[in-house]
Chain A
Amino acid sequence: MSFFGFDPSIPPHLQQGSGAPGTNESYDFQETYDGLGEEVDAFNEETFGDNKQETWNDPSAQNHAPVLKQNISYAQAASSTNNDDDFMNDLWGTSGAKDGAAQEVQQQQQQQQQQQQQAPQEKKFLSLEEIEAQLTAIDQQSQQQQHPVHPPPQFGYPGMMPPQFAYGMIPPAGYMPAPGQYGQFMGAPMPMPQMPPMGYQPQLQQQQQPVPQQQPVSQQQQQQQPPVQQQQPLQEAQPVVPQNAPQNAGVRRTSKVDSAQFPVLGAKGQSGQLHQQQFSGAQESAAPSSSPKNGGLPSPSSQPSFHSPQQRNHNNQNFHDLTPEQQAKLARRQEKVARIMKYSGIMNPRDKDYVTRFQLSQIVTEDPYNEDFYAQVFKVIHPKANSTHLQEHSQQHNSIAQAYLEQSGHRLGGRFKRADVALQRMQQQVQKAVTVAKERPKLTQYAREGALGKISFGNGKKPRQQLEIFSQAAQREIEKQEQLEKEAAVEASIAKGESDEAKPSDAQEDKSEFTKESTPVSKRPLSISAPSPSTSSTSKSYSKKDVMSILENIITKVMNLESASRLNPQDVDTKELWESLHILDQPSTSASTISEGEVNPFIQCLNHNKALKILPRLFKFLSREQILTIVTLIMSNLENLYVIKKGSYTTYPDKIVPLPILKLIETYTLTFSKVLMNSVQDFKFNEIIGLLVILIGHNNVSFVSTTKIGLSILTTLLSRAELIKGEGVNISATDLSEWSSCYDELFTSLESRISAIFPPNPQDIDDGSSRENYVWQFLATLSLGGKLSHQRIIVDEVRDEIFGVMNRAKSIDNSDIANLYKKQNLLNNLNMYLVVMGLVADESEIKELQS
């Protein structure tokens, strides 16, 4: 047996929490009574003294004393016979106060003395059977003594402790969770509050209208069922008293239910009430536990060991009407419920609050858009899915858990205007917890002598790593890198300041003539049109790694700008972003003979999917001039783009573009082409002419035209120019003449090679399933801009293709319903081109368009 009467079989949470300190002190008392007190007390303080002062906020442990003090007057406490210890007085006094009779206390102590005589070795918590056995013994004694005042039922349990603790320690014995728990946390129907009165009334009726058999039966029971005997004689002798006591308790309980239904957050008094509720619940349940036997049911099935009081009452009411079979069934069910109920209510609302608060304080953050970025933005982007979840949640009574998740990334309630009081209180507490946690210095790792790494401590946001190994080499590398970056930054600023002085350095080999020529972004970018190829001799070669880091840097800048613009949409500084693009760093054109690595880094970036995906977001932050500069750069570097360089069937022996490039082309059409199309809307007529001139001047147009992206870029520019020309606003005569010479130049470079824009396998690009065909679109646009002579040349060159399409359309049988739409698409696409020249084709012939 343990020294403190500590029962290891009791669940540890109970030992630690409400049970242990109180229990031990109650035992203490007994031993003090025996003259052993001082020694034990010393040990107690050592062992359990901390328990009460711990920051660990166990409500039950902390709140016992205050609760008890609230409920007892010191006069009452003093009236009890044994008050050598204040705390003990409180304990005993409480129970006495509850029934309002100090006499009873005395009486109980008498009983205890008797008990001790009977079972002097008994110092620990007993199993229920043991308790029952003892009860029987006591009861027989008390019957013999014929006490004028019966002991209150809850004192019947031996074990030398106030009943509160007994119930706390042995949950199955009528332990009942505080009602608030169910309502608030489990969402289960709350069975308890109305229960006690209901349960008692039938019982009382039975007693007041004496059934003839009752007496004999209960006498029988006294022999057969010892546990009940203690209460039975009382009830029979003075039926009124037990009736009043539990009912009072019941009334008290129900009156308190309201406050208990809300989670209690830090209010000591309230938690005290809660505890009391639990206790009173326990008292009530103790009484009804005997009721089935009072009702005179000798059936063994009526002794299901421990059920929830609800079950028992239910039992009371209906047991008479049931057949033995049903009773057995009911008993089984009760047993099952009892098993389930065994652990329900182990945590009271305050415990749960505590845990929730603890968890919240770990993950709550000041900066949700950084630390909880995904969830926060996801909610904004996919609001529909989210709102349905919220509804579901409120239906499922899961609001606290949901709030926990929602709030975790949030600055406490800013968005939760409707957060209920409990939640708000929780938020306040969390806020406090967070500030405290911030003030506390953080020890993130700890190097132990001889250890290979450092031992790290986890926190909520960054769970612990097993070992944090940090190599010296990596450290040096990082420092070196930072040093270089600093130097580079200094050099860059110098280079900018004195731009006419060449600055050959290893970090930034040349700031280049390109920069010098067009450093002011607003300057008309057409001046770039002829960067001298001589720069290539000194240009820097970018490795893939360089390009990737530049690209990552761009993306980072874009993201930073995005979050900045969320906070302050008006004032966004895009200077850094522009610099990170390296647009002007290194001039390069498709025409210049440079290696791949020497191409302008931004152009190299455009070979990567992620750069393309960020383009729409990037362009949002750029001014029209900046975009024009970028587009100009791209036009002069078309053939340096993989999508053009490798996107032409002509470069492949089997005339088939490989799959990875096809995928890249697909990405381009989805991103780049759209961005370009949007940007071109803002360009002026002369700017578009300029772009075309650059395109023609720096690229092999006939090669570019054999690629899908190249052709669609041409189409975009041409069609925009045609549109502006058609509007006829603000177009000077010089612009028009420039335009016609530009068109002539373009046409000359394409002439005699126009049929080459059709891939060798037309099925590859248009099997009729798509509604658009970029080739016919281009031809239509080209014809639209040209004179009649141009159109003739085009028709001559693509005559075979036109008839080819017609034949393919013809080959699709009219009865083939599933493919009929393809035929229509083929002809539609073809006609898009033919209509420009006033023609229309069906599957057999070409006619003049009749309008």
Chain B
Amino acid sequence: MLFFSFFKTLVDQEVTVELKNDIEIKGTLKSVDQFLNLKLDNISCANESKYPHLKSVKNLFIRGSTVRYVHMNANSVDCTLLQDASRREAMVQAQTSK
């Protein structure tokens, strides 16, 4: 749930999603679910000349499993908090696995 929780805070921010098939899509993150499926709005394709079929698409839904990277603005990440959150997650997992 950590990444889900993390991505929730990125809603309405501009992100660049790099897919496993090399398409890079920049857009406003509108929604995310626990599978890290993403919904983007106002998208533009970074390598549009290579993938012109995305030219007419305005918003899309990306299945989480096809995402390779999500690039985001460093300012929108609270690193200390993220460290804490990951520790917490590890703690919870350690408790449940016992």
Residues of A with Cβ closer than 8 Å to B? 359, 362-363, 365, 370-379, 381-382, 389, 392-393, 398, 401-402, 404-405, 408-409, 460-463, 552, 555-556, 559, 610, 613
Contact = CB atoms under 8 A, between A and B. Distances in A.
Closest 7 CB pairs of A and B: A374-B85, A375-B5, A374-B5, A375-B8, A373-B85, A378-B9, A389-B12
Interface SS majority for chain B: helix
B35 interface: yes
Given A363-B34, A373-B2, A463-B34, 4 more contacts: A371-B1, A375-B8, A393-B12, A460-B34
22 contacts: A363-B4, A370-B88, A371-B92, A372-B1, A372-B5, A372-B8, A373-B89, A374-B78, A374-B81, A374-B85, A376-B5, A389-B12, A401-B30, A405-B8, A408-B8, A409-B5, A460-B34, A461-B1, A462-B1, A559-B87, A559-B91, A610-B83
A479 B87 CA distance: 22
Nearest to B88: A373
Contact of B35 (A371, A376, A463, A613): A463
Nearest to B75: A385
B85 to A, nearest CB: 4
A552 B88 CA distance: 11
B6 interface: yes
Contacts of A409: 5, 8
A365 B92 CA distance: 13
Contact of B31 (A373, A389, A401, A460): A401
Interface in B73-98: 78, 80-85, 87-89, 91-92
Nearest to A560: B91
A166 to B, nearest CB: 31
B29 to A, nearest CB: 11
Contacts, number: 79
A613 B82 CA distance: 13
Interface in B28-70: 30-35
A392 B12 contact: yes
Contacts of A378: 9, 78, 81
B34 A613 contact: no
A400 B33 CA distance: 14
B78 to A, nearest CB: 6
B42 to A, nearest CB: 12
A398 B34 contact: no
B15 interface: no
Nearest to B89: A373
Contacts of A363: 1, 4, 33-34
Contacts of A373: 2, 5, 84-85, 88-89
B11 interface: yes
A374 B30 contact: no
A575 to B, nearest CB: 19
Given A556-B87, A559-B88, A375 B34 contact: no
B87 A374 contact: no
Contacts of A398: 30
A581 to B, nearest CB: 17
A389 B35 contact: no
B20 to A, nearest CB: 16
A405 B11 contact: yes
A555 B86 CA distance: 12
Contacts of B6: 374-375
B1 A613 contact: no
A613 B80 contact: yes
A463 B84 CA distance: 22
